[in-house]
Chain A
Amino acid sequence: MEALWVVLPTGQRASGDWIDDTLRLRAEEAGLLSRTPLAGQFPRQRVEVVRAADPAAEVSALFEARGWTDGLPIVPPTLDRVEAMCATAARAASEVLGEVEPLRGEATVEKIAANAVMAGCRPDHFPVVLAAVEAVLDPAFNMRGVQTTDENVAPLVIVSGPLAARLGINAGFGALGPGWRANAAIGRALRLVMLNLGGGWPGAVSLAGLGQPGRYTLCLAERDDSPWTPLRVELGYRPEQSTVTVLRAETVVNVTGGLAEVASVMASAASAFTMLYEGRVAVVVAPFVARRLAAEGLSKDDVRRRLHAEARVPASAWQSWWLRATARQWPGWVTEAAGTLPVVKEPGDITVVVAGADLAIPQLAYCPSWGFPPCRVTREIAAPVI
């Protein structure tokens, strides 16, 4: 029988408790043990030796039954693979980046690496995963809220900078679609960290009613050939630095047209939670559209100002929204406005990213936000140690 030595990817608290004990109870209460029949049943140690005729398949099946996957098969987080992953980070494997809410498993470099291996990351992707985890651990991201809400929010990961091309993080054709390992695996690693270290199990801890495909992965890079200032430079970094920016995205709405069409989608009930919580939204702009706008003399700031000005909800429509009737407190800038209301408080609350295929199609996307406080968290990516 072959043996695999795997690092257990699940969350242990600073106190030594394993989050699985809580998850098992919650899953039992919620009648969800058919999904994770082996929840909480594993040796309480760092490394487990799995012996089977096909140990990789056995690890995948075991982990699925213990609730440690997103439903797809995983790459077994063997000691060798986890060590290779950790080796690309200039920090100790035992370093604790923080606790992942709500069950507060410790995000050690090694635990994050185990989840990154499982997600299919290459070792050189790991610094991006670490930066993304650091970003979602910032209190402004409100991990507890994101993990437990009945809304369908997911972290939107935007990579900006020279590392994107070097690591093969797609900013072009299908940047939010399948086909590129980096986009698929980095976003998935972040989700596995949220599941396995934070305990965001659907139905047991996460009450998101429908979920969204972005909960598997939602990661893209910004094109570096756009006519505008790159995101990282807007946020105060130097062009040669690379960054990860994380937003809370309720969904991705495709919009064909131009700014007017995006504004019309923004000024809809899709933005209700954005308005309720003074949210920060993202607008993804295809290169063709960006060039056309730039040719008209519009900077990114101009685009934001125009969207802020044009994406207006008539007060009469807003008054009729379901959320308006049920939510108790709205921010002053919404409730005090008369006539029409902007969707976001300030133009700066709109993150503009150029991505997608360089085709002559007028394509954009709108990502409304969920939750509080206002969130756009950025961390620099350390160059992988190779």
Chain B
Amino acid sequence: MLRASAAAEEAGVPSVSLTCEGFVGQAATTATGLGLPGLPVAIVPGHVDVQTVDELRANVLGVTVEGVIQGLTTPAEKASDVEEPDPGEVVFEGTFDEINRFFYENGWSDGLPIVPPTSARVEAFLRQAGRDADEELGVLLPDRRSATVRTVAINGVMAGCRPEYMPVLVALVEAMADPRYGVEHSGNTPGAETLIVVNGPIVRRLGFNYQQGALRDGFQANTSIGRFWRLYLRNVAGFLPHRTDKGTFGNTWRVVLAENEDALGRMGWTTIAQDQGLAAGESAVTISRFTGGTVLASVFGTRAEEMIPYLADGIARLVAWEVIFTVGMSVGAQRPLLVLSPILAQTLARAGLSKQDVQQRLFAHARIPARKFERYIGEWTNLAPGRPTLGDLVKRGRAAAIFAESDDPERLVPVVEKASDIMIAVSGDPLRTNAYVFAHNGILGFPTTKPVRLPAR
């Protein structure tokens, strides 16, 4: 909303953003990040989702209208840059405990002890970056702060990474800064969390766990790089709970998922990075924001026909309100991820299926009744205002034709737009028949892949 207002103001058109009461602080900080700290906001008391039409009318007429008038008639304030310490500056000297307390009290850590980012440690990281310390990797909202190789190193040290992870950390921040990913949405209320998938020779070189317990703590690369992601969102992008991060619940970082490329190679399946357009054998990171996940335990069967319905049911079951990223809000942006243990993938491959064949079959089975689909977006939520039918959305060009092949409300429709929208990774205990499925957050964290460029030896 504020981003639309900012665009209008920059085009010389006065704007005002209607903002529910609980979002006023976030609006102010977001507006500043957009370079327009005085971007006008008109408050709607409470939250519109739980108000009757009469209550909403009274709130709008009693409070909001005045704000709209003021907002449209008061000139917006100019931006000023907030003075900050230089990232190379020593801001504190003390013991390990003192440094940890100092960083915590100032909101620079996540509550766990950090490794003090001393000049020597930061320099050691920078030596492994293969990039200039002051190179800008992008500018991150909401704080509109410059993301440099140096701040990557600082947060990498703090997170407990090793210096040789630097090329991965740099690639991650390049992905974070890529407009396709949409980092500015990272403080939205569903509080989805990013999953990082790593591919290529770095998986083995840096010692990522890609076998049993792939998403478990206990492996430095997987865990510390996951933690780095959140520290960077906090300290550089500027997402702080109670201010810019409005995640209703949120959760902590996800441990990095490394694909089992040994198994993929044997099966002749493509990796996630390849599916995203990178060459085979190239090291890469892929980031994507997922609202949640669940385990599909004890997948039973020897043939694809036996296994696919259960796997597809898991996908369809988990993608609920998130179908607003399939139609309506952002057509075709729902990208669920199915993680297969190697033994499951191999069973499907032995039956002659490529990854793309599996995607096609999952797409054919991961379906829900049209009536239920419409409820998710227009009845149980107001994500598609006006309660449109899927037929209406197809007519408006906000859904693919497949969603309106008949008028029967009981007809089955897919939860993604097309087969290739279902991402498949292979990882986890090689000999256990379990799978994991993640529901996706659409354009608010769209899958984004960056190659990891290793420094010349």
Interface residues of A, Cβ cutoff 8 Å to B = 3, 5, 13-18, 21, 43-47, 49, 79, 92, 94, 96
Contacts and interface: CB of A to CB of B under 8 A. Distances in A.
Given A49-B98, A79-B105, A14 B25 contact: yes
Contacts of B24: 14
A91 to B, nearest CB: 13
A43 B83 CA distance: 10
Interface in B240-285: 242-243
B85 A43 contact: yes
A16 B102 contact: no
B82 A16 contact: yes
B29 A16 contact: yes
Interface in B54-110: 80, 82-85, 91-92, 94, 98, 101-102, 105-107
A46 B107 contact: yes
Closest CB pairs A-B (n = 3) = A14-B28, A15-B32, A47-B105
Nearest to B84: A44
17 contacts: A3-B98, A5-B102, A14-B28, A15-B29, A16-B32, A17-B32, A17-B80, A18-B83, A21-B83, A46-B105, A46-B107, A47-B102, A47-B105, A49-B94, A49-B102, A79-B105, A94-B242
Contacts of A17: 32, 37, 80, 82
Main secondary structure of the interface of B (DSSP, over half): loop
Best-surrounded residue of A14, A46, A96 (most CB of chain B within 10 A): A14
A46 B37 contact: no
Contact of A45 (B94, B98, B106): B106
Contacts of B82: 15-18, 44
Given A46-B106, A49-B92, A79-B105, A16 B83 contact: no
B98 A44 contact: no
A43 B91 contact: yes
B71 to A, nearest CB: 15
B28 A15 contact: yes
Contacts of B101: 5
Interface string B341-369: 00000000000000000000000000000
A16 B243 CA distance: 10
Contacts of B29: 14-16
Interface string B24-66: 1100110110000100000000000000000000000000000
Nearest to B81: A17
B288 to A, nearest CB: 29
A37 to B, nearest CB: 18
B250 to A, nearest CB: 16
Contacts of B242: 92, 94
A96 B21 CA distance: 12
B193 interface: no
A3 B94 CA distance: 11
B143 interface: yes
A34 B94 CA distance: 33
B30 to A, nearest CB: 10
B367 to A, nearest CB: 45
Best-surrounded residue of A16, A92, A94 (most CB of chain B within 10 A): A16
Nearest to A47: B105
Contact of B83 (A44, A46, A47): A44
A58 B101 CA distance: 21
A382 B143 CA distance: 36
A51 B168 CA distance: 39
A44 B28 CA distance: 19
Given A13-B28, A14-B24, A18-B82, 20 more contacts: A13-B37, A14-B28, A15-B29, A16-B29, A16-B32, A16-B82, A16-B143, A17-B80, A18-B83, A21-B80, A43-B91, A45-B106, A46-B105, A46-B106, A46-B107, A47-B106, A49-B98, A49-B102, A94-B242, A96-B25
